Structure 1
Amino acid sequence: MAERPIYRLPPAGWSDFGAHVDRRGVRLEFSAENGEDGMPLWERPINSQPYNQEILP
């Protein structure tokens, strides 16, 4: 049986990578730690706009 990767909870203030994909205009910071696929493990918003306000380009 193939080994499955162990899921780790994100650090405080961070979310799983891709959690903000539906939040238009939210600027994100990505973790320096990457998964086996080379993608960041976590992300967090870095702008001060609340999620319920849409930011137009």
Structure 2
Amino acid sequence: MKIILLSLITGAVVGFVFALFKLPIPAPPALPGIMGIIGIYLGYQFYLWIAANILK
């Protein structure tokens, strides 16, 4: 939980600094960006499952 909270705080600080200097946000649009992150996570978990169950 500590890592999640630190990640959220770091992201908020970076977003604030980018807005302060009037720079474009360093992230993709909200929903597509979130779906991309979820896809990466699911692909990683799928590989771990295949490695544990099929590639023994």
* TM-score range for the pair, normalised by the shorter chain length: under 0.3
Structure exhibiting the larger radius of gyration computed from Cα positions: 2
Larger RCO of the pair (alpha carbons < 8 Å, separation 6+): 1
Give the TM-score normalised by structure 1: 0.24
Higher helix proportion (structure 1 or 2): 2
